[in-house]
């Protein structure tokens, strides 16, 4: 019997810095950014609310134009998989790094939050990256196009 496993991550958070795109020697675009996610809970002993923020590094492959939209402070939905890699630093010490390899990114938030470019709060700016590029996504239906001034997923440059 074949064993099954799942490696899926879903994040909704705010960008901690502007996304940066670099290119591999073969010309493939690699965009990196960090997402802050925050959880709140009530301390049982002090009865006070506490908060904890976690920073997650995200990598997007072969999406050259996505960095133009991923700027510090914007809220995003990221869906992808965890990947841990290792390398030796300059002192020869083994360093491990865990990142989310994004398959889908959706900009969230309205124009007041800087989404601009005609994107509204329902996250119409979508990108499917990496292996998910060929999958069909949940595109806005014809009834949704009027609220976005006729902008469809085909109008988004990524």
Distance CA 72, CA 16 (A): 5
Distance CA 128, CA 100 (A): 14
Query: What tens digit of pLDDT does each residue of 53-108 get?
Result: 999 999 999 988 888 899 999 999 999 999 999 999 999 999 999 999 999 999 99
Q: Strand 29-42 and strand 20-23: pairing? A: antiparallel
DSSP 26-79: T--EEEEEEEEEEEEEE-TTT--EEEEEEEEEEEEES-TTGGGT--TT-EEEEE
Q: Strand 94-107 and strand 75-88: pairing? A: antiparallel
Distance CA 154, CA 139 (A): 10
Are 76 and 114 in contact by the 8 Å Cβ rule? The answer is: no
Q: Assess if residue 108 is contained within a domain.
A: yes
Owning domain of residue 100: 9-155
Q: Assess if residue 1 is contained within a domain.
A: no
Query: What tens digit of pLDDT does each residue of 28-57 get?
Result: 999 999 999 999 999 999 999 999 999 999
Q: Assess if residue 110 is contained within a domain.
A: yes
pTM, 2 dp: 0.65
Q: Assess if residue 83 is contained within a domain.
A: yes
- Our count of domains for the chain comes to 1
Q: Assess if residue 40 is contained within a domain.
A: yes
Q: What's the start-to-end Cα distance of the chain, in Å?
A: 40
Give me the pLDDT at residue 142, please.
Answer: 37
Least Cα distance to 154 among 140, 143, 144, 134 occurs for 140
The pLDDT-based confidence of 23 (bands split at 50, 70, 90) is: very high
Q: Assess if residue 2 is contained within a domain.
A: no
CATH number reported for the structural domain that contains residue 79 in this entry:
2.40.50.140
Q: Assess if residue 3 is contained within a domain.
A: no
């Amino acid at each position: 019997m074949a064993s099954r496993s799942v490696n899926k991550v879903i994040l909704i958070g705010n960008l901690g810095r502007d996304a940066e795109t670099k290119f591999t020697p073969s010309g493939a675009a690699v965009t990196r950014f960090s997402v802050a996610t925050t959880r709140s809970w009530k301390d049982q002993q002090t009865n006070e609310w506490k908060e904890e923020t976690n920073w997650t590094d995200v990598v997007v492959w072969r999406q050259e134009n996505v960095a133009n939209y991923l700027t510090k402070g914007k809220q995003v939905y990221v869906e992808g998989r965890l990947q841990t890699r290792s390398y030796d630093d300059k002192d020869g010490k083994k360093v491990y790094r865990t990142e989310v390899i994004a398959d889908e990114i959706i900009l969230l938030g309205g124009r007041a939050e800087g989404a601009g470019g005609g994107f509204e709060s329902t996250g119409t700016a979508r990108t499917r990256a990496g292996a998910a590029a060929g999958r069909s996504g949940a595109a806005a239906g014809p009834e949704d196009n009027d609220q976005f001034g006729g902008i469809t997923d085909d109008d988004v440059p990524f």
